[in-house]
Amino acid sequence: MKQSEFKKRRQALMKQIGQGNIAIVASADALIRNRDVHYRFRQDSDFFYLTGFNEADALAVFIPGRKQGEYVLFCREFDPTKAIWEGAHAGLEGAIRDFAADDAFPIDDLDEILPGMLENKGKVFYPMGKNSDLDHKLLDWINHIRKQSRSGVTAPGELVSLEHIVHEMRLFKSAEEIKLMRRAADISAQAHMRAMQFCQPGVYEYQVEAELLQVMMQQGLREVAYPSIVAAGKNACVLHYTENNDKLRKGDLLLIDAGAECECYAADITRTFPVSGKFSEPQRLLYQLVLDAQQAALAEIAPGVPWNKAHEASVVVLTKGLVELGLLKGRVNKLIKDEKYKQFYMHRIGHWLGMDVHDVGDYKIKDEWRLLEPGMVLTVEPGLYVAADCETVDKQWRGIGIRIEDDVLVTADGHEILTAAVPKTVDAIEALMRRT
């Protein structure tokens, strides 16, 4: 991502903060995995969105109209020994030279410098409740300024949620962002196709996971956007199954929910296909029903359509189909009203997608479902999950879990499916699996 993109975002933020106010955003912490080993670092999405700065121990301050510079970055000072052991880090000079900060200070001096920046400001835009250490510090700094009121300084009078502004910005993807999301989607699509071709009875779920990662990593995407779900047979009925240690059996379906991350932008794809390469009759019937529900939901993705329409469309198709196949009994309208379908379809149709897999942005505005607008990206992912011990349905349906998930960009005249490359009709899946 170009620096100019981050700059544009900061300028847009600055405008919304307004002169006389201040905003503060902290980086993610480096997290310990065990003893002296860290997890691979993943920057806080809001912080990265505004700075492009990929280090821990950093804090960005935005002060519209500040004469010495509006964008201040606190970060670690350059340490040559650290550079030898751990590699590059920007330091104060790098923060200014490479990340376009107007001013940079050592993070160790935060306590001395930041309180002065808060003096005589009206509002502090800040993500309260995300980092309790910083929450306490901020309140201490503000209280400290209050005590100095007799010397003429005033303390900020209002703490305002910064997330509300930043998350609304993040909901609408720019051309640059869509480029990265396309790359995440394309490579994840290739990974899913590879998994379909690799899959056969007797291999283990983790071996399929390894194939997915191999395709992603070979192309430079080292991070998955969330832990991959590779769930054979009844494991697919556990919505967030990540053990991935079971053997694939001949008559089972395999559900894979996996997506790569590209420069902090996620893909999120699910496909479900037969381990042996051919759907059994009950599997095919339920699969086709989920696919029909997905098509009905996708038909509702266009500008001006309320967010919930796609979900409602999927509920109607699934409930009707479940009645036709005999898994539910009763009148469709009543079953929908009583939410009886939730026994088999217990999640919603999807979510916003972006830097976080379950991305930020409000789904409702003033209690009304929000209308879709161009530039939004969301998932469309209906599913059916019949528990292995579900005694209310015929045995042939039990232990089948199916989800079909695509990533969809809302465009000016409808939508574009970013993950359309992965086959999803029964015929196309069976054809791809024959070509191994």
Active site residues: 36, 240, 257, 268, 347, 351, 358, 381, 385, 403, 405
d(CA 224, CA 254): 19
Can you read off the two tokens belonging to residue 176? 């640059």
The 10 Å CB-count burial string (b at 16+, else e) for 197-214 is: ebbeeebebebbbbbbbe
Q: Does 407 bind Mn ion (CB under 5 A)?
A: no
Closer CB to ligand GLY, 269 or 372, in the complex: 269
Span from 5-13, 283-291, 361-369, 404-412 in contact with Mn ion (CB under 5 A)? 404-412
- Give residues 323-362 in contact with ligand GLY (rule: CB under 6 A): 351, 357
Closer CB to ligand GLY, 258 or 433, in the complex: 258
Cα 51–chain centre separation: 19
With a CB cutoff of 8 Å and minimum separation 6, the contacts of 196 are 271, 273, 423, 429, 432, 433
- Strand pairing report for 406-411 and 414-417: antiparallel
Q: Is 31 left (phi over 0), alpha (psi -120 to 50) or beta?
A: beta
With a CB cutoff of 8 Å and minimum separation 6, the contacts of 82 are 76, 89
Min. distance of Cβ 257 from Mn ion in angstroms? 4
Min. distance of Cβ 227 from ligand GLY in angstroms? 9
Give the x-and-dash track for 348-377 against Mn ion (CB under 5 A).
------------------------------
Sheet with 377-380, strands from edge to edge, namely 377-380, 406-411, 414-417
Min. distance of Cβ 268 from ligand GLY in angstroms? 5
Closer CB to Mn ion, 205 or 257, in the complex: 257
Q: Does 257 bind ligand GLY (CB under 6 A)?
A: yes
Min. distance of Cβ 240 from Mn ion in angstroms? 10
Closer CB to ligand GLY, 203 or 357, in the complex: 357
Q: Other C-beta atoms within 10 Å of 338: how many?
A: 11
- Give residues 130-169 in contact with Mn ion (rule: CB under 5 A): none
Options 54, 314, 379, 419; binder of Mn ion; rule CB under 5 A: 379
Closer CB to ligand GLY, 357 or 432, in the complex: 357
Give the x-and-dash track for 225-254 against ligand GLY (CB under 6 A).
-x----------------------------
Q: Does 103 bind ligand GLY (CB under 6 A)?
A: no
Closer CB to ligand GLY, 121 or 271, in the complex: 271
Q: Does 381 bind ligand GLY (CB under 6 A)?
A: yes
For residue 2, what are the CA distances in angstroms to 52, 180, 212, 270? 9, 12, 29, 31
Min. distance of Cβ 357 from ligand GLY in angstroms? 6
d(CA 188, CA 369): 30
- Give residues 191-230 in contact with ligand GLY (rule: CB under 6 A): 226
Closer CB to ligand GLY, 70 or 407, in the complex: 407
Span from 5-13, 202-210, 261-269, 297-305 in contact with Mn ion (CB under 5 A)? 261-269
Options 163, 209, 252, 268; binder of ligand GLY; rule CB under 6 A: 268
Number of residues that bind ligand GLY (CB under 6 A): 7
Min. distance of Cβ 403 from ligand GLY in angstroms? 8
Closer CB to ligand GLY, 263 or 268, in the complex: 268
Options 209, 263, 268, 300; binder of Mn ion; rule CB under 5 A: 268
Number of residues that bind Mn ion (CB under 5 A): 5
Angle, vertex CA 24, rays to CA 21 and CA 30, nearest 5: 175
Query: Which residues contact Mn ion (rule: CB under 5 A)?
Result: 257, 268, 270, 379, 405
Query: Which residues contact ligand GLY (rule: CB under 6 A)?
Result: 226, 257, 268, 351, 357, 381, 405
